[in-house]
Amino acid sequence: MISVRALCDLTAKKGCLDQRFTPSPTALEGMMGHQAVTSRRGYSYLTEISLTGEFQNIYVRGRADGYDPDLNQLEEIKTYKGHLDRMPDNHIQLHWAQAKIYGYLMCEERNLENIKIALVYYNVTSKEETPFIEEFTVSELQDFFEQHCQMLQAWAEQELVHRASRNGELSVINFPHLEFRTGQRKLAESVYKTAKLERTLMVQATTGIGKTLGTLFPLLKAMPETKLDKIFFLTAKSSGRELGLNAIRTIKKSNPTLHLRILELTSRQKTCEHPDKSCHGESCPLAKGFYDRLPAARLEALNQKMMDKVTLRIVALKHQVCPYYLAQDLANWSDVVVGDYNYYFDLYAMLYAGTVINEWKVSVLVDEAHNMIERARKMYSADLSYGYFNEMLSKAPKSLKGILDKLNACWESINRNQDQAYEVYNHIPEDFERHLQRALTRITDYLAVHPTHNEVTLLNFYFDALQFITLAESFGSHSLFDITKSDKNVGLFQQETVFSIRNVIPGRFLNKRFEAASSSTLFSATLSPPTYYSDLLGLPDKTPFLDVDSPFDAAQLSVNIAKHISSRYQDRAKSLRPIVEVMGKQFYENPGNYILFLSSFDYLNDVKLLFKETHPTIPIRIQLRIMTENDKERFINEFTLTSKGIAFAVLGGSFGEAIDLPGNKLIGAFIATLGLPQINQINEQMRTRMEEIFGLGYEYIYLYPGLQKVVQAAGRVIRTTDDKGIIHLMDDRYDNSKIKQLLPKWWNVKS
């Protein structure tokens, strides 16, 4: 059984891709628009008519918007904003296809020889409707219906064959290595059981155990039995995506007949072939005729099986289609999707929307899940800058000046009434929220009428305000509302202010994402204590926590606490020489590759200057404040099996996790910080909120996030069971029993 909409989405899209921004009606506006049109019809007019039809083994169902038996006229109602002549042609083609298929189903339902079909466009702003009416015979509509069903049938048969082949092969796939690593089998068994029970699982497993393979393999094995449609492997960084893809390549290499479609999703910014062009057929050659060439591109891409970004680019350019939107389409037909967290967990997440709309049965793997809290907080936070608003106001169209001036007056009033540079409010000012909503409505209507050549400041403010007002509607104890003033003047003697909705507990939003998945597994080397993560990520009640035994033993890693050093901010000047002495002594005793992790670039620079002066013969490398992807890659590649030296890096930065330096590529690390977030007004407000809700304010805002970075950074040293190394924890606070309990159990810490 397939819906009319789904059938047409696959078979009836024609013409150009057109991603020019045009405001569309909200769901409520669309529903009210339909009601407005049908309420104008006569007494005999029928609405929401359930219709079904079949062609061979394809069963089609749907609800027609309206039918007037007196006129023998079926109506398909579409709501819109702006000018109808600016509606993309591919949308109109799709609308007519839906209307004609409903027309055929109505003819079959009522034994009609012909029927009039009206495609009715309703402008939700002007309340005007524009009908396009054509008359068709039942045979014309039957030909149209069967043509699209045949197109679907060919595709459906291919998909059924693929699914049967995939499931048959997955049920007998072999683990790609002769044996599991220590702890890896337990991990795999737990993930498999979680999928079968349709539960959520948290797993803490030491780096080097093979977590990626140990989670992907059992889920693939479970796909046939659990009837999973898709697996989403979600990561925080591009390096995590590559680990996921490599694990699947390893599985496929040992199971060469495996029919498995793997898709890598990459951001639009990194995928776009023509960043200087607009995303529509009149500007970009890869958007022109996109839907006409999409079927062939889709088929060739799926035949590649491994659809990583390189392969997708080759296929897309061969068929002259946009690689980014080709990937978006392929998500519908892929078995495993590898991408960033935001594709499933963001406010407007594509994979989450697909899961809900298409009723996919999915299992979600969250790689390096310790990153989820901060990433999710950013997803569900919003800022509005008065300075940026003021700049936009000076360039805004005259027709918007009135409503924007009212918002400006409200904003200025709030600014004048706040004496402090930073202040937290219990609620968002009602007047401001009301004026902002009205401004958004007017801007939406303006953009609908003027979809092109708009000032960038207007568009940017519009999108920022949309995010802000959306989060304002669900504002609660899970977030803070604050206003920050600076000394900078903007406008007429007005200070710059930023209104912020800061998410504190993202679980309020993430919970729905976990509920939509059949099963989920979150895994990392640092998920302790588990209550911290389950509380903040909104995991289901009684989510089990598995702490996998480490494959490493204490003899591999010497962990030393330098109790004579304090890296506290007020003690940093005194700490420089002791830090340099520990580093120099260690290097001279055992030359090799080391990393020093510090809390800030300023601190790093101070240590660097003294170290170069004291130990000029020891090679060093420095992490820069700004580094391109190529810079980062060169930095990592300079760790070789024969190189020697000390790299200086900032804890929590690019080199504190997700880099693999086995053997002599890295034999030790110096960590001169607890990694605690900066004490400032915002963090203190978050600490207070955490204390109110969980009774663990300091731990949830400072201690746990800080030590998580420490353990991640230390995890760069021991990567295999053959590695040996040393860690120097250079701060007296590491000798505290409460902090020692949060360090990995297998470490043998020497005070």
Count the helix, strand and coil residues of the chain and give each as a percent rounded to the nearest 5.
50, 20, 30
Buried b (16+ CB within 10 A) or exposed e, 66-84: bbbeebbbbbbbbbbbbee
CA distance 522 to 363: 11
pTM: 0.91
Residue with tokens 């200086």: 648
Identify whether the C-beta of residue 16 lies closer than 8 Å to the C-beta of residue 281. Answer: yes
CA distance 664 to 11: 56
**Number of alpha carbons in the 13 Å side-chain half-sphere of residue 597:** 31
For residue 494, the model assigns a pLDDT of 65
CA distance 178 to 41: 72
Mean pLDDT by 10 residues, the chain (751 residues): 86 86 80 92 93 90 94 95 85 94 96 96 92 96 95 87 94 92 93 97 89 96 96 91 94 92 95 91 92 94 94 97 96 96 95 90 96 96 94 92 95 90 94 95 86 81 94 95 84 77 97 97 94 96 93 93 95 97 97 97 97 97 93 94 97 87 95 95 96 96 96 92 94 94 90 74
DSSP secondary-structure letter at 525? Answer: S
Those residues with Cβ within 8 angstroms of residue 411's Cβ, 6 or more apart along the chain or in another chain: 386, 389, 432, 497
For residue 490, the model assigns a pLDDT of 66
**Number of alpha carbons in the 13 Å side-chain half-sphere of residue 596:** 30
Kindly state the tokens that stand for 41.
């019809």
CA distance 52 to 683: 58
Identify whether the C-beta of residue 322 lies closer than 8 Å to the C-beta of residue 312. Answer: no
For residue 487, the model assigns a pLDDT of 75
CA distance 654 to 648: 12
**CA 271 to centroid of chain Cα atoms:** 16
Rounded alpha-carbon distances, angstroms, from residue 710 to 381, 676, 744: 26, 10, 11
CA distance 587 to 645: 8
Tens digits of per-residue pLDDT, 300-353?
Answer: 999 998 999 999 999 999 999 999 999 999 999 999 999 999 999 999 999 999
Pairing of the two strands 545-547 and 200-204: parallel
For residue 30, the model assigns a pLDDT of 87
Cβ burial of 194 (10 Å; 0-12, 13-18, 19+) is buried
**CA 684 to centroid of chain Cα atoms:** 28
In sequence order, the β-bridge partners of residue 524 are 204
Got the DSSP string for 309-363?
A: HHHHHHHHHHHT--HHHHHHHHTTT-SEEEEETHHHHSTT-HHHHHHHHHT--EE
For residue 453, the model assigns a pLDDT of 65
Starting at the earlier edge strand, list the strands of the sheet with 519-524: 306-307, 262-264, 336-340, 230-235, 362-366, 519-524, 200-204, 545-547
CA distance 486 to 489: 8
**Number of alpha carbons in the 13 Å side-chain half-sphere of residue 235:** 21
For residue 492, the model assigns a pLDDT of 55
Hey, how many other C-beta atoms are within 10 angstroms of the C-beta on 610? 14
State the DSSP H helix or E strand holding residue 54, giving kind and residue range, or none if neither.
strand 46-55
Which regions of 570-623 does DSSP assign to beta strands (E)? Answer: 593-598, 620-622
Query: Is there a cis peptide before residue 23, judged by omega within 30 degrees of 0?
Result: no
HEC profile of 403-431:
HHHHHHHHHHHHHHHCCCCEEEECCCCHH
For residue 405, the model assigns a pLDDT of 95
Q: Which amino acid is at 132?
A: F
Residue with tokens 């300091």: 698
In the chain, the domains with their CATH numbers are 2-155 (3.90.320.10), 180-265+331-378+508-547 (3.40.50.300), 381-505 (1.10.275), 554-750 (3.40.50.300)
For residue 695, the model assigns a pLDDT of 96
For residue 740, the model assigns a pLDDT of 93
